[in-house]
């Protein structure tokens, strides 16, 4: 079966099963084409929440499907490829966070990036995304903030809010962390007119060289709004597919070292087909004693003021 026929097969199965297929930007192009909606982490879960579909097939990684399950307790959420995990989310555990909170004592707010396990969200005061992290931290009344689990995003946010004492967790995204300064500088030298777009999960030395720092959706929107013709893109290469498709004529440049998330790339058309054909698919479930406090942290984020 050709890839085009397989895409149509997946779409037909989704219609038959009355399912919503959602995919993260970092998935492969074929999965983008077959999905009902393509977006960033929280946006996908919000799309699942407002859908009238009761079956959600999530093409992403485990923590994302968990977030959808937190927001949609009345729906069945299936991770297309159950082996798709997130190294950064694995760099923090509920047990380790509980111990750190006890060590720090009262008066310290815990701000957790949505790229984290459900039981870590449940121990947090509030969550954030890469897009709203600065606004969320600024909204907190506490002066001391423990931000988890991404040290690079934490440093980026802390630089913008010097009045807060920001404590960091030592986690990071291997895909964004691996960008080499030498490769970036060579690109900038060869393409001096290119706009440099970076995700805040990159290291500080990289972010200093960027013209724009923003979330995945923020980077995509910046390209669409810009009158520049060349862009140096410093985030996972999956974003290149929608940007090229929506911005014909614009040129996108990337570092020599591939920026690929191997877990996101695990999701395939065959995985979606398998999930839709399974009469008893392994749903992603979050126990109520974890879901309720985790939902509270996410809802506080959604209600926080925006910049």
* Per-residue pLDDT tens digits for 135-192: 999 999 999 999 999 999 999 999 999 999 999 999 999 999 999 999 999 999 999 9
> How far is Cα 307 from Cα 263, in angstroms, rounded to an integer?
32
Mean pLDDT (the chain, rounded)? 96
Residue 255 has pLDDT above 80, yes or no: yes
Tell me the Cα Rg of the chain: 19
The residue-averaged pLDDT of 13-21 equals 97
Token pair of 165 as six digits: 């004492």
H-type helices in the chain, by residue range?
3-17, 29-34, 41-50, 62-71, 94-104, 118-121, 133-139, 151-160, 174-177, 181-190, 204-207, 216-225, 240-246, 269-277, 288-303
At residue 85, the pLDDT reads 97
Has domain 179-253 been given CATH number 3.40.1010.10? no
pLDDT band at residue 41 under the 50/70/90 scheme: confident
Short-list 139, 22, 65, 67, CA closest to 294? 67
> How far is Cα 166 from Cα 137, in angstroms, rounded to an integer?
9
Fold equal for 89-172+289-303 and 179-253: yes
* Per-residue pLDDT tens digits for 63-82: 999 999 999 999 999 999 99
Tell the CATH superfamily of the 3-85+264-285 domain. NadA-like (3.40.50.10800)
At residue 12, the pLDDT reads 97
Q: What is the pTM of this model?
A: 0.95
Question: What CATH number has the domain spanning 89-172+289-303?
Answer: 3.40.50.10800
* Contact between residue 168 and residue 144 where contact means Cβ atoms under 8 Å apart: no
The residue-averaged pLDDT of 44-55 equals 95
At residue 24, the pLDDT reads 98
CA 95 to chain centre: 23
Residue 305 has pLDDT above 80, yes or no: no
Sequence ranges of the domains in the chain: 3-85+264-285, 89-172+289-303, 179-253
> How far is Cα 37 from Cα 259, in angstroms, rounded to an integer?
23
> How far is Cα 14 from Cα 20, in angstroms, rounded to an integer?
7
- Measured distance between the N- and C-terminal CA atoms of the chain, rounded to whole angstroms: 48
* Per-residue pLDDT tens digits for 92-147: 999 999 999 999 999 999 999 999 999 999 999 999 999 999 999 999 999 999 99
At residue 270, the pLDDT reads 97
The residue-averaged pLDDT of 45-49 equals 94
Residue 243 has pLDDT above 90, yes or no: yes
Token pair of 13 as six digits: 């199965």
Residue 307 has pLDDT above 80, yes or no: no
């Amino acid at each position: 079966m050709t890839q085009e026929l397989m895409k149509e097969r997946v779409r037909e199965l989704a219609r038959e099963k009355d399912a919503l297929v959602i995919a993260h930007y970092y998935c492969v192009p074929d999965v983008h084409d077959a999905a009902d909606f393509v977006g960033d982490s929280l946006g996908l879960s919000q799309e699942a929440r407002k859908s009238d579909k009761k079956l959600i097939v999530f093409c992403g990684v485990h923590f994302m499907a968990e977030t959808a399950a937190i927001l949609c307790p009345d729906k069945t959420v299936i991770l297309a490829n159950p082996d798709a995990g997130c190294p950064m989310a694995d760099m923090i555990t509920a047990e380790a966070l509980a111990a750190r909170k006890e060590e720090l004592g009262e008066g310290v707010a815990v701000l957790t990036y949505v790229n984290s396990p459900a039981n870590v969200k449940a121990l947090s005061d509030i969550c954030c995304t890469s897009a709203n992290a600065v606004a969320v931290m600024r909204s907190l009344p506490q002066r001391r903030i423990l931000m988890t689990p991404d040290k690079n995003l934490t440093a980026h946010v802390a630089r913008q809010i010097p009045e807060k004492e920001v404590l960091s967790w030592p986690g990071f995204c291997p895909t964004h962390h691996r960008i080499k300064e030498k490769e970036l500088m060579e690109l900038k030298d060869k393409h001096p007119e290119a706009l440099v777009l970076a995700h805040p999960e990159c290291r500080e030395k990289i972010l200093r060289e960027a013209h724009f720092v923003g979330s995945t959706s923020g980077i995509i929107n910046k390209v669409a709004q810009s009158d520049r013709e060349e862009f140096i893109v410093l985030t996972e290469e999956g974003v290149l597919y929608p940007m090229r498709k929506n911005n014909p004529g614009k040129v996108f440049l990337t570092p020599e070292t591939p920026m690929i998330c191997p877990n996101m790339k695990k999701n395939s058309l065959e995985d979606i087909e398998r999930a839709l054909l399974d009469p008893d698919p392994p749903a992603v479930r979050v126990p109520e004693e974890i879901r309720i406090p985790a939902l509270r942290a996410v809802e506080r984020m959604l209600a926080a003021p925006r910049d």
